[in-house]
Structure 1
């Protein structure tokens, strides 16, 4: 019999039961990949993380990230939530994290995460994407229309066609014409199976830009082939989105920041703070962060 501690936390949340829930399983060194996948399916959240000893003692931990159906090389909300949980535990033990900076070993590389504080203590975290922005092939608007059940007229094509981009985890990014179209989108699993296999992209990321609204960007992300019909908040998607928007901007040098809302249409409102730096026409760095709220803690028993 094996006993494992776990915590759950709402990530990119302003209050409990908002944002994107995450399960963090501690002391997972003895678990097999199959056991981790089964535990993630049991939690049935967008992602579950497993904390292991790092290969390099200079790093904080090794982290493995699983959806209910597959392991991911990188994801934003699992890094933010795991950092929040580990930093909060370290604080309670009177062993605060040095310089509020953590380094996680992941399949995508070493990921740097900074703890966010206010006067009350640790409130969240901010993660830097482990890879530089890459912009790949496009996808025909008609295919995107099939994926999300919208007419092609709902797809905004003036700034960019649907395109695969990644800062550690690839998504198909599609701008829609208005908020009504975003609300009406519905994932079509059969279309995903036909047109968007998991090895091509993690999911479909839809967004609208409304400069007079707060937040000025609203997004939704569908990944049914990962067991995630819709994700309340997608850090790896939003960190690539801010990089893509900086890439598309005509200025060769800039620092672009944005507040991005997600999860509203599924009753899990989330707020993400994203940033991209661009120098000499190249996006050199991207970050995403937000607040976290603890929800549960307990013990998982493996027999």
Structure 2
């Protein structure tokens, strides 16, 4: 822990400084124990801290471990993009030009580089289908709404444990003031549509008390997971607005 290690903090999902979602990246996690990694993640006190390691498979460019202040995640969106950026900035050269392969607990994640933009291919869902009724009732209670307010609900777990409820409007999502003490282990999102013709198609808020994060400013893994759910009905490309309550008003595609 005492030897020098390269470290970056990357602001993800925003063209404006300090308006995105920051991730701490330790570019050499070699020989750190699980407990030491968790200690560093508690110290940074960001939604996620990552550790870059040598890959265990020749198909990957590097291996990544992702920690919240309280636990390790098998996959997360903005840490994937922020870590890929930090790895490239610090001299990383992918096996295939403009395609970075990240190894993590969720598997091999493809990250495409196009000019100055990075985009990841979402891993497959490991759980889908409607939320079970007891858990749904807990969420509804925590959100201070009724069953009639919920248009739809779904497990959209691509690693972190996400589920999501859909409300009628973006305004209803923005008005939520959840009492997370009712759902202390939850990883839950709320989605609502903007009127037709608006700049954004949906407003999304993600609450992750189960990972020690009351509300995530901009959540790439949840956005990607919801895209799996919405694919049959959503346009090929749409914008999701996130982070109004945490002053990170950058859209994610």
TM-score between the two structures when normalised by the length of structure 1: 0.76
Provide the residue aligned with 1:234 in structure 2: 219
Residue 253 (structure 2) pairs with residue 260 (structure 1): no
d(CA) in 2 for partners of 1:37, 1:18: 26
d(CA) in 2 for partners of 1:139, 1:213: 33
Provide the residue aligned with 1:186 in structure 2: 177
d(CA) in 1 for partners of 2:76, 2:246: 20
TM-score between the two structures when normalised by the length of structure 2: 0.90
| Cα offset, 1:42, TM superposition | 0.7
Provide the residue aligned with 2:121 in structure 1: 128
SS of match in other structure, 1:56: coil
Higher strand proportion, which one?
1
Q: Cα deviation per residue 1:260-291 (whole Å; 9 max; x = unaligned)?
A: 11111221112211xxxxxxxxxxxxxxxxxx
| Cα offset, 1:150, TM superposition | 3.1
Provide the residue aligned with 1:39 in structure 2: 40
d(CA) in 2 for partners of 1:169, 1:234: 11
Residue 145 (structure 2) pairs with residue 147 (structure 1): no
Residue 105 (structure 2) pairs with residue 107 (structure 1): yes
| Cα offset, 1:97, TM superposition | 6.8
| Cα offset, 1:255, TM superposition | 7.1
| Cα offset, 1:131, TM superposition | 2.0
SS of match in other structure, 1:110: strand
| Cα offset, 1:15, TM superposition | 0.7
Is the 8 Å Cα contact of residues 167 and 240 (structure 1) preserved in structure 2? Answer: yes
Task: Give the direction of change, closer, same or farther, for the CA distance of 1:267–1:255 in structure 2 (3 Å limit).
Answer: closer
Bigger relative CO (Cα 8 Å, ≥ 6 apart): 1
User: Any unmatched runs of 5+ in structure 2?
Assistant: none
User: Any unmatched runs of 5+ in structure 1?
Assistant: 274-303
**Which residue of 207, 223, 230 maps to 1:222?**
207
d(CA) in 1 for partners of 2:5, 2:226: 36
Is the 8 Å Cα contact of residues 84 and 115 (structure 1) preserved in structure 2? Answer: no
d(CA) in 2 for partners of 1:151, 1:16: 38
- In the TM superposition, structure 1's runs of 4+ consecutive aligned residues that sit over 6 Å from their partners are none
Residue 160 (structure 2) pairs with residue 169 (structure 1): yes
Provide the residue aligned with 1:278 in structure 2: none
Alignment of 1:263-282 (within 5 A): 263-273=243-253
Quote the RMSD (CA, aligned, Å).
2.1
Is the 8 Å Cα contact of residues 27 and 52 (structure 1) preserved in structure 2? Answer: yes
Provide the residue aligned with 1:62 in structure 2: 63
SS of match in other structure, 1:80: helix
d(CA) in 1 for partners of 2:38, 2:28: 16
